Amino acid sequence: MESSIQTLIVVIQILMGIISLIGGAMLVTLQNAIKELRDADRQLAADMKSYAKAEELERWRSEQREEVRSMRQEQRERFERIFDKLDDIQEKLSNKADRS
């Protein structure tokens, strides 16, 4: 009877060892998976930051383009007014020359 109890204890200890081994392996696998997820999360955060910077740069470029277009339009309008005034001056000079 004593040997059967000792055999049962050994079998239970072996089973507990196997269960511990499987549990340990599962914990290591889980720990590695968590590490991979953290690394992927860091990479995603860096990519999102890069994307946000690129988006911000594109928005700034677009604003600059619009500002340049606006400045060109203002410049055209100013030159048009200058040429209109020059035309007026030329017409007045022509009228004076015709009177003389």
Domain boundaries, the chain: 1-72
pTM of the model: 0.50
Cα 87-81-63 angle, rounded to 5 deg: 150
- DSSP summary character for residue 34: H
Helix (H, G, I), strand (E, B) or coil at 12: helix
Q: How far apart are CA 78 and CA 76, in angstroms?
A: 5
H/E element, 77: helix 2-99
pLDDT in tens, the chain (100 residues): 788 899 999 999 999 999 999 999 999 999 999 999 999 999 999 989 888 898 998 999 999 999 999 999 999 999 999 999 999 999 988 888 777 6
